[in-house]
Each structure stands twice: as C-alpha cells, then as structure tokens.
Amino acid sequence: MTSSDASSSPPEQEGSRAETALPGNDLGNNLPAEFMRRMESLLGEEYTSFLDIYAHPAAVGLRVNPLKISVEEFIALTPFRLEALDWSAQGFLLLETDPPPQPGKHPYHAAGLYYLQDPSAMAVVELLDPQPGEKVLDLSAAPGGKATHIIARLQNQGLLVANEMHPRRAWDLAENLERWGARNTAILNDEPSRLADHFGAFFDRVLVDAPCSGEGMFRKSQAARTAWSPRLVQSCALRQASILEEAARMVRPGGRLVYSTCTFAPEEDEGVVMDFLENHSGGSPAAFEVIQPKSMKGFFSGQPAWLESTLGLRLSAPLAAQLERNVRLWPQREAPEGHFIAVLQRVDDGPQAAFKPFKAKIPPDAREVFRQFCEATLEAPLLPQLLGELTLEGAYLYARPSLLPSLGKLRVIHPGWWLGQLKARRCEPSHALAMGLRSDQALHRVFLHLEDPALAAYLRGESLPLAGENAWVLVTIEGVGIKMAFPIGWGKRTAGVLKNFYPRGLRRS
C-alpha cells in the first residue's frame, strides 16, 4: 500500500449487476412447447440449428468503459480472455478459462472499468448512435447496461435522462451509473405518460428497450422460460405499443427513436412497429419512418412475412419494405443471443418543446461549505465545473446537467451528479463523486496494488493504517502493467487511520 499527495508522481489516468450464464446443458427439452412449435414454423430448415444453441451455455459479454480507460489499455491489464464483437468498438465476448472467470467479483469491476452485458444488447446503443452534446432519454433504463453505454457515447457531455418505473430497479440503475462514473445524468422513477406530458418533444434521441416476453433470454433465465406463454406475448405487445406511443411524444422533429426487445415473437417486434407506423404516417402530427441502419456482420433483416403467416395480415409493399429495415440478431447465426431493433426517424416539421429553465436552489452558506471541501480535497481546475451548476435537495448536493430543464413534480432519484451530503457545516463526499473523478483530480490519494491485502480489506469495509495529515483520501487501484490508477471510493484519514467510506451495500463478506 502506498500513499501520495499532489506533489508526488503517482500513476496517471486518462480519462453492474451482471447476469451469470447457466451451465451448458440441453435446455431444448425444457423450452415451452408452444414456443418451440412457433419457432419451427417460422424458421423452417433453420430450426434445428436454432434448437442446437440450447445445448450450450449462454454467452457473457464485457463492455469496456471509455470514460475511464481505452480498449488498448484495458487489454493490457485485463486478466480475462476476450474476443472482440463486430458491432461494438468497446464490446467483447468473455471466453471460458480454467478456472472460470469471475468478472463480477474482480476489483476492476468495482472500479467501473467494464460492464457485464448480453453481447447482442450492445448493438442497440450503437444504432441509437448518440452524439456528444445531445439530449438522450432511456425510457426503461434498469439495470443500466444501455444507459452506461449511452453516457459513454456522449462522453459525459450533453444530457442523459435515465428512467425506470420500478422503484427497486431504479436504485439498481443508480448504482450501476454511479460505478460507471456518469456525470451529466438525471435518474427518474416515473411513468412514460407523465414524462411525455412534462418534457414534450425535447430529446434528440429516445431509447425504448421494452419489457418483453424474454425469449432471447431463455438460455440464461429459468424465470423467463417458466413465465412464458402466448398470453404473455400478447400482453407484452399491448404494453410495448403503449410505451412506444408515449416515447414518440418526446422525440424532437428530426430526432431518432429506437425500439428494441430481447424476444423473437413477431407480435412484439415487427407487429408493434407496424402498428406504430400506421399511427405515425406522413399525415400524422408526429410522423416516423424506419431508417436503414448501417450493415454489420451479425445484423439480419426484419421479417414482415411472419406477420402474414402468424397473424394472417396483408401488408402493403411500402410498409413491408420499412419493416424489413428492422434488425434481428440470431443466436444460431452470428450473434451470441437474440435481439430485435427498430431505428425510427421523426420526419415531420412539427414544433420542438421549449426549454424550461431550472432555477438552482442552494443557499450561499451551503455553497461556501462545498467550496471549502473542494479546495481541501480536489485539484483546482475541477472547481469551476463542480461549483457552476450546484443544487441542494434537502441535505444532498448535486452538480445538475446544464441541459436539464425543470423536473416539476416528476419522481426523481438523482437530478444530476450526486456530489455529497452536507452535515453540520461540513461536506461528506458521495461514492458517485469518487467514481466520477480521475485519480489525478484528488489532492490526497492512496494507491492499492491488485494483490495488496489492504485492497481486499478496504472492499470489506475495514479501516486501514495510513500516515499523513487529516484529510479526505481517494482510494484507488493501481493498473497491472500500465501507469494508471482507478478510483474505487473514499476514506477519511484521521490520526494515522483511514476510516472506510466504501458504501455498505457494496462491501464484500
């Protein structure tokens, strides 16, 4: 264990909840019978190869966090065997080793260097294609895989509003975004209709990763297999259509709306998009068209013919042509699992929602307390950014994104980057602040080697001996083989002891 103040020369730094794959076994005999009959009818000769995938374990994907480390730097330090994905520059398949890898338990995961995600799901944000400085809404964002991908593509510029209706899942989302180092992000816990009433046509890009019947998750989820039924497919399709309608209200003219599912059911995929297009044709107030996404290995066309064979529908040639532009990823072809993605562009010239300015709420004495904390704890160049958009919610202090409008009466988890809590004229920094910093932005740091027993002790919540002046100290992990260090949390040094401020909910037994 080594410590450093600003005058020394420490390593430089530029810059989830994971699902576990099931052991390999033949699940084919345990799949819902009606699902198997439908897939055999739709896939024809390809059905046998589709069924064969269930004799193998589900794939695990890993996406590198470019806010903290480059892909090249990560490859130089990673202990895992990886295979690059075609559709994501930061995405990889995690390959089996002996002993098996445990990426969710590695300290680099605690430092937010990567997110564990279904490899096929990484294609969704690539097709959403958010650009730095834009305003983006992730409408059903938990647990945070696509939200972390969006904020990485935004390069922590612009605005991400990440919403999740379910309260518990909204806090899972907040935890994953916190670990990722997300800054220009607001996390909400509200219904799509209330968001649409409040924001209007405000966002440049909106993602609807819709709740679905989860057929693409059958290899890794017994719950998905057990819950599946034709009735569930129908109810999901109705719910998805409702959510998509509300999402469309929040896309500005010229903006992009992406709809995705992890199911194969045409009712939930091409069927939902078909109904949406019929309601949003050229004569409607908000008109959309399916745009042709970039062609990549593993991307296959939508299947409008399945609506005719399954539901007995007759599609016009123009509508069928649009539905063919949808993207399907198939596990029996190039993709590890299944996914459906529709990229919709708003093509009318209707009005864009007016920006509703937010009025900061922070008393001068609270601002002064935080300024003093910053001067004692952080490097001076960071101060203008942190002091510029401050807002106080109760005792909790936030750096609010400059593009975020007033949130009115919406249910809010975090209205920006959570910086800390004010307590009796002192500031206790948040874990989110630590995870959003580079190691060289703190005045007082401690560098822990990956194999240092002090690192395991810190992650268990134990205090550490550490000589030096009384101060808040940023605890970091030193990168193996590269001159970088990565924050994992705070400690408070008092009388030669570093009191542990690693969040209790993250501590290891």
Contact 3, 446 (CB under 8 A): yes
Nearest to 262 by CA among 94, 109, 146, 131: 146
Please give the angle made by the CA atoms of 216, 53 and 41, to the nearest 5 degrees. 70
Nearest to 476 by CA among 108, 14, 155: 108
Class of 120-214+227-346 per CATH? Answer: alpha beta
Active site residues: 262
If DSSP codes are grouped into helix, strand and coil, which group holds residue 476?
A: strand
What's the distance, CA 383 to chain centroid? Answer: 27
Locate the domains of the chain by residue range. 2-15+438-506, 120-214+227-346, 364-435
Lay out the sheet containing 82-84: strands in order across: 82-84, 91-94, 61-64, 114-117
- Is the pLDDT confidence value at 322 over 50? yes
Class of 2-15+438-506 per CATH? Answer: mainly beta
- Is the pLDDT confidence value at 13 over 90? no
Res. 26 pLDDT band, cuts 50 70 90: low
Contact 93, 462 (CB under 8 A): no
- Which residues fall within 8 angstroms of residue 267, CB to CB, at 6 or more apart? 233, 234, 237, 310, 311
If DSSP codes are grouped into helix, strand and coil, which group holds residue 170?
A: helix
Residue 444 CB neighbour total at 10 angstroms: 21
Q: Give CA–CA dist 422/430, Å, rounded.
A: 10
Q: What is the pLDDT of residues 383-429, one digit of tens each?
A: 777 877 899 999 999 999 999 999 999 999 999 999 999 998 999 99
Contact 71, 338 (CB under 8 A): no
Q: What is the pLDDT of residues 272-314, one digit of tens each?
A: 999 999 999 877 789 999 999 988 889 999 999 999 888 888 8
Nearest to 108 by CA among 180, 43, 19, 197: 180
Helix (H) or strand (E) holding 341: strand 339-346
Q: What is the pLDDT of residues 96-121, one digit of tens each?
A: 887 888 999 999 999 999 999 999 99
Q: Give CA–CA dist 365/373, Å, rounded.
A: 13
- Which residues fall within 8 angstroms of residue 491, CB to CB, at 6 or more apart? 446, 458, 463, 464, 466, 472, 473, 475, 498, 499, 500, 501
Contact 257, 334 (CB under 8 A): no
Q: Give CA–CA dist 13/483, Å, rounded.
A: 7
Rounded to 5 degrees, φ, ψ at 118 are -55, 125
Q: What is the pLDDT of residues 332-373, one digit of tens each?
A: 998 888 999 999 999 999 999 988 878 778 999 999 999 999
Nearest to 53 by CA among 309, 465, 300, 329: 329
- Which residues fall within 8 angstroms of residue 1, CB to CB, at 6 or more apart? 446, 447, 448, 449, 452, 454, 464, 466
pLDDT given for residue 307 in this prediction? 94
